[in-house]
Structure 1
């Protein structure tokens, strides 16, 4: 994923997050292709941060973003910011911050933990198919590159298998690590960010994929 680039703040520019306000004094920064996720009671959904200022943030989803809150914006460091919806247009949505934020810290993605690939906490029952049989397992979280699962069957390190579910395309994977009933899988063929976003929405809130603007975006 290409890291976001930051433009020079534009004093007095109208915010992308609050079109209802004609006057704007907070500097606006532009972030290009900075992946994050919106967390709501309905689940976790991938988005891209486009614009951010002291008062709010503009996001673009790979599908319509959920309207019902509360909402949090979670960065790849695990840092969370409470946000409140202001406007939405197709795949774009603007939010105000529920409390004051340090914009420089948000842009730098500084936090208690190192930056890592987005992981979605999604509960999903699957089958693991391998030479000699098929067993049940539960997905705990999922990323573009792999998954964390729970399984009662003993699996060997580096064991090849297939992850099967009616909601998830069949994925070839290998066991990377294990700890009691938990296993880490690495996929042979990784998901694109848009594929992962579509899968997550389909599992958690299928109605978000029904809007006309979503189909074209997910084909990219």
Structure 2
């Protein structure tokens, strides 16, 4: 190569792929995080803990095996979702790669958002039975967290009324009505769930949902 060609080659920017690899390698990684989040698996929500993150991916602590799935997304407590692919799973941790490079500072600033003091809520649509004043009333569980739940019940409950909930996969659960906007009622549990227990109860709930067309429960990733 003549001197002029060498000079032009040296001054040329690296190809896009080379820049992408370099950006991935140099992306700052924030480790030793303990941030409760949700792993959305084919639209179904599971609790997890964000342990580290970079612009290109993250590592999550899981509480159980996951169903084989076509899509994954990380959802933070402010509702922001980050589509991603699972790259590896080992013991109770799994690594994921985001579909696009993200602003990791924005991800970690989640707790300074409008829901900073709000527990992560898992959205559901699960039929349950509410026991109140000696009656068994059908209702629908709309969301649940370690400290409370939102139910859809046509019966108008009194504020501070104590309710007993029969939820598939859960032990008998007691909560008081904290707010109401009929048919919706917000409940505060008498005794909250540790995060890992709630995660396992949710897994049990999902396992009790209707089986697939082949008559088999969804297989789990080890």
Which TM-score tier does this pair reach, normalised by the shorter chain?
0.7 to 0.9
Q: Work out which of the residue numbers 191, 194, 197 in structure 2 matches 1:192.
A: 194
Within 2, Cα distance between the matches of 1:173 and 1:199? 17
State the Cα deviation string for residues 110-163 of structure 1 (Å, max 9, x = none).
676322211001222111112232211110111111111111222111111211
Indicate the residue corresponding to 1:106 in structure 2: 107
TM-score (norm 1): 0.78
SS of the residue aligned with 1:201? helix
Q: In the TM superposition, what is the alpha-carbon distance from 1:83 to its structure 2 partner?
A: 1.0
For the 8 Å contact 1:64–1:208, the answer to whether it is kept is no
TM-score (norm 2): 0.77
Indicate the residue corresponding to 1:64 in structure 2: 65
Calculate the aligned-residue CA RMSD, in Å.
Answer: 2.3
Indicate the residue corresponding to 1:47 in structure 2: 48
Within 2, Cα distance between the matches of 1:45 and 1:153? 29
> Structure 1 residues 97, 199: CA separation in 2 closer, same or farther (over 3 Å shift)?
same
> Structure 1 residues 35, 124: CA separation in 2 closer, same or farther (over 3 Å shift)?
same
SS of the residue aligned with 2:65? coil
Matches within 5 A, 1:59-208: 59-109=60-110, 113-115=114-116, 116-205=118-207
> Structure 1 residues 112, 34: CA separation in 2 closer, same or farther (over 3 Å shift)?
closer
Q: In the TM superposition, what is the alpha-carbon distance from 1:173 to its structure 2 partner?
A: 1.0
Unpaired segments ≥5 residues, structure 2? 1-23, 209-216
Return the index of the structure with the highest Cα Rg: 2
Question: Number of paired residues?
Answer: 190
Indicate the residue corresponding to 2:7 in structure 1: none
For the 8 Å contact 1:36–1:47, the answer to whether it is kept is yes
Within 2, Cα distance between the matches of 1:65 and 1:38? 10
Unpaired segments ≥5 residues, structure 1? 1-22, 213-220
Q: In the TM superposition, what is the alpha-carbon distance from 1:209 to its structure 2 partner?
A: 10
For the 8 Å contact 1:155–1:175, the answer to whether it is kept is yes
Q: In the TM superposition, what is the alpha-carbon distance from 1:78 to its structure 2 partner?
A: 1.4
Q: In the TM superposition, what is the alpha-carbon distance from 1:108 to its structure 2 partner?
A: 1.9
Within 2, Cα distance between the matches of 1:128 and 1:96? 41
Within 2, Cα distance between the matches of 1:85 and 1:205? 22
Within 2, Cα distance between the matches of 1:154 and 1:79? 33
